[in-house]
Amino acid sequence: MFRFIYGFCDIYINGVNGMALNKRRSEERDLEVVYEDEDVVVMRAPDDEELERMVKDIIRRKGRPVTWKELRKELSGLAGEDRLRKVLVKLIERDEIVEMIDGSFGLRGMEASYVPRRLKKRVRPLVPRKFRTRWGPIVESRGSISAAIQYLREARLGKRARRVN
């Protein structure tokens, strides 16, 4: 299957099993199909509200916080990086999404039991004010973001090990 973006529509050109895949994708994404025949499916691209809902649905479906890379991959062709970043900033500012200490994004409440991933490099937070409010005290007490991540990993993994024993 080939995917092209033309204006405000996604255009799919089907391979052998492409039609079933495209129908499933359009149902999964709830995007309006503008035109469809046996070779081509044209869908309207999502607006910002639909994109916000899609981001929350992706996180909910995965059941854990997701990374920027995962979100980009899931939404490739539907939204560019700038648009995705804009939607994430809105969701973070409305406290619908939490930016985790390791830079992944989760729904409110996921931060309580989340075990941060190890990082090679931590990127700048999308909403620094919210990040400082949520994670500032632990970062300051540990001296750096990587030390805080290590502390949280050990503390949360230690709790899990104690529960098993």
In the block, which residue shows the tokens 């995705």?
A: 84
Same structural domain for residues 103 and 61? yes
Domain extent at residue 60: 48-164
Same structural domain for residues 100 and 130? yes
What's the mean pLDDT in 12-25? 43
Which tens digit of pLDDT belongs to each residue from 53-83?
Answer: 999 999 999 999 999 999 999 988 788 899 9
Same structural domain for residues 96 and 144? yes
Q: How far apart are CA 163 and CA 159, in angstroms?
A: 6
What H or E segment, with its residue span, contains residue 6? strand 2-6
Q: How far apart are CA 21 and CA 15, in angstroms?
A: 10
What H or E segment, with its residue span, contains residue 43? strand 40-44
Same structural domain for residues 155 and 93? yes
Same structural domain for residues 69 and 150? yes
Range name among 20-24, 57-61, 75-79, 132-136 with the lowest pLDDT average: 20-24
Q: How far apart are CA 136 and CA 17, in angstroms?
A: 50
Q: pTM for the whole thing?
A: 0.73
Task: Evaluate whether 65 touches 110 at the Cβ level (below 8 Å).
Answer: yes
Q: What 3 state SS string does 67-110 have? A: CHHHHHHHCCCCCCHHHHHHHHHHHHHCCCEEECCCCCEEECCH
How many structural domains compose the chain?
2
Same structural domain for residues 56 and 133? yes
Same structural domain for residues 134 and 74? yes
